[in-house]
């Protein structure tokens, strides 16, 4: 995090050297350059432009961050997805990574922001994201087939002013491997230049030093309703997010989160399965008639 | 209220001016535009450098070359002339809503009410200068004449030191000293009149109208009326064109893509400049190619949103030609841009910022070019229950809300990552039901070895928990009905999957990962 020009710093500022000749009038940019070059190194390295200072201050205050409506993510990121940074979410199969990405998109579009999903794995089910509360009219969905194209597309989207771009690499094998680090750095720079939030979901670390924040979704633990030979029903998945990297913070913070299976009875999701809930679920279950996504639709 | 005033916007040496607009690097060369083929080709117009060497319109090309060995010759180009005429009319339409297309580098403007935009002491002079400056910016060295009649305005536009103004009621006095050729160069009656001893417009106007009509017929009567400053022809406004055209005939047929894109870029530059000056953007770009020795090809490029970004349009043209090469040398081309109003956005003070419509349109067009139109859009669910189906529609986000809202608490739902297309798997089952029935629960899942399977996620392992079957029947009345038995399975240490058994074939597939 940038250090603001505190009064202490100003008090410690050494005496200014003589003004270079020809500085009083004329070209402002040249004057500023001369002024900057005449300062001692220790002071010069702390200088910020007004824009940088404003951005640093907003970041420090947690303003402008995207509230994601995923409480665990918001808590780990101190308020939401930071703008102007590449945030990488790493997670293997059934870790809740894709659900988290979709929840972020749903939260952003539901408040009226435009968002884009660059879906390298081509795994989006429009019904699923609609169920999460997304406004599909504000969601742009791209289905590239190569990582190179996905990175280029994400950069174009950032440059065109999308405030939130989500790039998901799908499940391994990822076509294109980890990509070139220079491309990730370009992407991070584009996010910073346009003050946009960039969330990258990947099965393994890909963005190298370009990521400002790295989170890891641990393998989820599934909870099933029903026991033994009786019919089962997927109730929920529990996992936890681990903060692996964040500039200016120590890594290692964790937050648990639970994702309810679509169509599962809500009480079973909110709390561990209650003993009296079991028979009711068994009775309600219309065996051999409804696929999970049909149940999801019925549950609204 | 005075008589309605008319301005004439005239492009002298029109074939030459049109050619130089397409090839501005030839402006300082000794260039002639010729009509006809081979030795029969006649000079139609020549640049100042060629005229200085003695080249005049009407000379044959060999005669002209004899006078000026370094002469550059270009044939008359219909495409260039059509584009230049359209550009001239668009310049005129930027000033007046009523513009007449008189062809051959001439446009008339109705100036009624325009003087209010020029509050200075000489509004018409200021308007004329502005018109010339605007035409010059569009690459057209046009002249302006302003009078009460169209004829007087056209003749005034042809005089030196433009803009030339003819005060109302003084048309006859203005025309009187001019030579007869100025009156109607296209009507060859000046020779006849000169034999009668009539040399100026004023002399002609003094002749009795009935005598002129009896000797020269209807043409003579009309000419006599115009010589007296009477021009009854009203201004006929033109309809806006359905498309903007730019193109040219090439000196040498092109066989490679890069040189074509080089000349194409200049044409697209001019096209987009014209679209911008008219407040339009292109929603559809059509490319017409004239092939050597004969043949014609038409291409159409639909754009996802109106745009006038040259780079984007050029990329789309490149991709189109790379995908379907013309197959013969290209001797000429023409772009036609179908105009549409560019999208506009209202800035919001308290709500989320809207995307810039221009930038969005350009980005969508570039994404179309990069990924293909079937891979860019806004997702929509489709009627039916097959989870792999979806619909993509054009991305046109509605305006953002006026006030920024707080997001609602997330529903915390587990989503399925769809595997498209479904991945074929082998499943070992057991259960109480008959062999191959829906009641056979999966015990173990494997991915069969194949070249395709290497590129897809591997789904294999012992089934820890299985939930199902959940039946799905769809389109039972159609030729290809869907009948599936779905299972949710948890594989030992490998995640949660959604798999199904195709009832018709008994083949198992994995179509989603709970992720």
pLDDT tens digits, one per residue of A17-36: 555 555 554 567 777 778 88
Q: How far is it, in rounded angstroms, from Cα A111 to Cα A104?
A: 11
Three-class HEC string of B258-297: HHHHHHHHHHHHHHHHHHHHCCCEEEEEEEEEEECCCCEE
Residues B165 and B57 in one domain: yes
DSSP assignment of A37-77:
HTS-HHHHTT---HHHHHHHHHHHHTTT-B--S-HHHHHHT
| Inter-chain CB proximity A222 and B494 less than 8 Å | no
Q: Is A76 domain-assigned?
A: yes
Q: How far is A28 from chain B (nearest CA, A)?
A: 32
pLDDT above 50: residue A162:
yes
Q: Name every chain A residue with its beta carbon within 8 A of the beta carbon of B397.
A: 114, 137-138
Cα–Cα–Cα angle for B192, B195, B197, nearest 5°?
Answer: 115
- pLDDT for res B331: 92
Nearest to A153 among B355, B371, B496 (CB): B371
User: Residue B391's closest chain A neighbor by CA?
Assistant: A126
| Inter-chain CB proximity A261 and B498 less than 8 Å | no
| Inter-chain CB proximity A103 and B370 less than 8 Å | no
Residues B261 and B385 in one domain: yes
Residues B284 and B362 in one domain: yes
Range of the domain at B236: 177-240
Last residue of a domain, one of B240, B269, B291: B240
Q: Is A130 domain-assigned?
A: yes
Residues A172 and A139 in one domain: yes
Range of the domain at A153: 66-224+233-260
- pLDDT (average), residues A122-136: 91
- pLDDT (average), residues B137-164: 88
| Inter-chain CB proximity B413 and A262 less than 8 Å | yes
Q: Name every chain A residue with its beta carbon within 8 A of the beta carbon of B514.
A: 94, 222, 234, 237, 261
Q: Is A12 domain-assigned?
A: no
| Inter-chain CB proximity A172 and B490 less than 8 Å | no
What CATH number should be reported for the domain holding residue B152?
3.40.1170.60
How confident is residue B513, by pLDDT bands cut at 50, 70 and 90?
very high
- pLDDT (average), residues B491-515: 90
Residues B295 and B333 in one domain: yes
Q: Name every chain A residue with its beta carbon within 8 A of the beta carbon of B459.
A: none
ipTM: 0.72
Residues A42 and A144 in one domain: no
Q: Is B407 domain-assigned?
A: no
How confident is residue A285, by pLDDT bands cut at 50, 70 and 90?
very low
The Cβ-side half-sphere exposure at A139, using a 13 Å CA radius, reads 29
Three-class HEC string of B316-370: HHHHHHHHCCCCCCEEEEEEEEEEECCCCCCCCCECCCCCCHHHHHHHHHHHHHH
Residues A159 and A52 in one domain: no
Mutate to test the interface with A, among B353, B415, B472 (most CBs of A within 10 A): B415
Residues B163 and B75 in one domain: yes
Mean pLDDT is highest, among A22-26, A151-155, B189-193, for A151-155
Q: Is B454 domain-assigned?
A: yes
User: Residue B422's closest chain A neighbor by CA?
Assistant: A123
Q: Name every chain B residue with its beta carbon within 8 A of the beta carbon of A128.
A: 413, 415-416
- pLDDT (average), residues B201-221: 83
Please provide the average confidence, as pLDDT, over all residues in chain B: 86
Last residue of a domain, one of B240, B257, B289: B240
Q: Is A31 domain-assigned?
A: yes
Domain count, chain B: 4
| Inter-chain CB proximity B515 and A69 less than 8 Å | no
- pLDDT (average), residues B140-155: 88
Residues B222 and B107 in one domain: no
Domain count, chain A: 3
Q: Is B1 domain-assigned?
A: no
Residues B205 and B309 in one domain: no
What CATH number should be reported for the domain holding residue B198?
1.10.150.20
CB of A141 within 8 Å of a chain B CB? The answer is: yes
- pLDDT for res A63: 59
pLDDT above 80: residue B438:
no
Q: Is B366 domain-assigned?
A: yes
| Inter-chain CB proximity B457 and A112 less than 8 Å | no
- pLDDT for res B440: 79
Residues B187 and B133 in one domain: no
Residues A22 and A113 in one domain: no
pLDDT above 50: residue B30:
yes
Residues A240 and A109 in one domain: yes
pTM over 0.80: no
Residues B388 and B344 in one domain: yes
Q: Is B443 domain-assigned?
A: yes
What CATH number should be reported for the domain holding residue A166?
3.40.50.300
Residues B365 and B470 in one domain: no
pLDDT above 50: residue A283:
no
Residues B428 and B368 in one domain: no
Q: How far is it, in rounded angstroms, from Cα B257 to Cα B49?
A: 34
Residues B386 and B435 in one domain: no
Q: Is A2 domain-assigned?
A: no
Q: Name every chain B residue with its beta carbon within 8 A of the beta carbon of A290.
A: 470-471
């Amino acid at each position: 995090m940038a250090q603001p020009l505190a009064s202490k710093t100003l008090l410690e500022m050494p005496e200014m050297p003589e003004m270079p000749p020809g500085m009083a009038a004329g070209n402002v940019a040249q004057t500023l350059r001369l002024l900057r070059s005449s300062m001692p190194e220790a002071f010069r390295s702390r200088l910020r432009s007004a824009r940088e200072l404003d951005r640093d201050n907003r970041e420090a205050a947690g303003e402008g961050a995207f509230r994601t409506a995923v409480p665990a993510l918001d808590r780990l990121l101190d308020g939401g997805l930071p703008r102007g940074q590449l945030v990488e979410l790493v997670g293997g199969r059934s870790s809740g990574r894709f659900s988290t990405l979709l929840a972020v998109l749903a939260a952003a579009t539901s408040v009226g922001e435009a968002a884009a999903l660059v879906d390298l794995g081509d795994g989006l089910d429009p019904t699923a994201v609609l169920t999460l509360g997304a406004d599909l009219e504000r969601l742009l969905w791209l289905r590239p087939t190569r990582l190179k194209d996905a990175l280029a597309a994400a950069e174009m989207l950032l440059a065109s002013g999308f405030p939130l771009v989500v790039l998901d690499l799908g499940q391994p094998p990822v076509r294109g491997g980890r990509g070139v680090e220079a491309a990730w750095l370009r992407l991070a720079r584009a996010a910073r230049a346009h003050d946009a939030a960039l969330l990258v979901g990947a099965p393994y670390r890909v963005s190298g030093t370009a990521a400002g924040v790295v989170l890891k979704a641990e393998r989820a633990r599934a909870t099933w309703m029903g026991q033994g030979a009786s019919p089962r029903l997927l109730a929920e998945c529990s996992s936890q997010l681990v903060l692996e990297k964040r500039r200016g913070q120590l890594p290692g913070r964790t937050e648990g989160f639970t994702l309810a299976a679509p169509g599962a009875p809500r009480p079973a999701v909110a709390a561990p399965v209650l003993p009296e809930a079991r028979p009711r679920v068994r009775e309600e279950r219309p065996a051999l008639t409804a696929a999970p996504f049909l149940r999801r639709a019925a549950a609204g | 209220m005075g008589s309605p005033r008319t301005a004439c916007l005239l492009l002298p040496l029109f074939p030459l001016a049109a050619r130089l607009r397409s090839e501005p690097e030839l402006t300082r060369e000794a260039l002639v535009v010729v009509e006809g083929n081979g030795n029969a080709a006649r000079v139609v117009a020549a640049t100042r450098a060629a005229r200085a060497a003695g080249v005049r319109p009407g000379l044959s090309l060999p005669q002209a070359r004899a006078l000026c060995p370094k002469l550059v010759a270009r044939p008359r180009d219909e495409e260039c002339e059509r584009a230049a005429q359209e550009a001239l009319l668009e310049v005129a339409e930027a000033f007046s809503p009523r513009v007449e297309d008189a062809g051959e580098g001439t446009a008339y403007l109705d100036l009624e009410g325009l003087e209010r935009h020029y509050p200075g002491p000489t509004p018409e002079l200021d308007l004329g200068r502005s018109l010339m400056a605007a035409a010059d910016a569009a690459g057209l060295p046009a002249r302006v004449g302003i009078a009460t009649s169209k004829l007087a305005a056209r003749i005034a536009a042809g005089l030196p030191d433009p803009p030339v103004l003819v005060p109302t009621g003084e048309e006859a006095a203005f025309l009187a000293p001019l030579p007869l050729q100025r009156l109607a160069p296209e009507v060859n009656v000046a020779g006849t009149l000169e034999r009668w001893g009539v040399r100026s417009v004023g002399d002609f106007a003094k002749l009795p109208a009935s005598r002129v009509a009896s000797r020269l017929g209807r043409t003579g009567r009309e000419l006599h009326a115009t010589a007296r400053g009477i021009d009854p022809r009203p201004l006929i406004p033109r309809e806006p064109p359905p498309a903007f055209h730019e193109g040219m005939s090439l000196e040498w047929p092109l066989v490679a893509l890069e040189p074509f894109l080089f000349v194409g870029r200049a044409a697209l530059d001019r096209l987009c400049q014209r679209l911008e000056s008219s407040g339009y953007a292109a929603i559809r770009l059509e490319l017409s190619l004239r092939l050597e020795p004969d043949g014609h090809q038409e291409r159409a490029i639909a754009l996802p949103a109106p745009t006038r970004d040259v780079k984007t349009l050029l990329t789309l043209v490149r991709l189109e030609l790379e995908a379907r090469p013309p197959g013969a040398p290209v001797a000429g081309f023409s772009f036609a841009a179908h105009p549409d109003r560019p999208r506009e956005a209202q800035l919001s003070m308290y709500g989320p910022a809207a995307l810039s419509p221009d930038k969005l349109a350009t980005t969508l067009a570039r994404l179309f070019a990069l990924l293909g139109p079937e891979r860019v859009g806004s997702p929509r669910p489709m009627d039916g229950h097959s989870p792999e189906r979806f619909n993509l529609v054009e991305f046109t986000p509605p305006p953002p809300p006026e006030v920024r809202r707080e997001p609602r608490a997330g529903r915390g739902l587990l989503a399925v990552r769809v595997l498209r297309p479904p991945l074929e798997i082998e499943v070992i089952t057991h259960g109480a039901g008959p062999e191959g029935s829906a009641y056979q629960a999966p015990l173990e899942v494997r991915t069969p070895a194949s070249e395709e399977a290497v590129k897809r996620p591997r789904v294999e392992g012992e089934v820890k928990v299985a939930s199902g079957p959940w039946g799905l029947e769809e389109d039972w009345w159609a030729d290809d009905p869907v009948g599936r038995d779905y299972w949710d399975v948890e594989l030992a240490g490998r995640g949660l999957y959604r798999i199904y058994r195709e009832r018709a074939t008994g083949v198992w597939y994995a179509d989603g990962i709970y992720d």
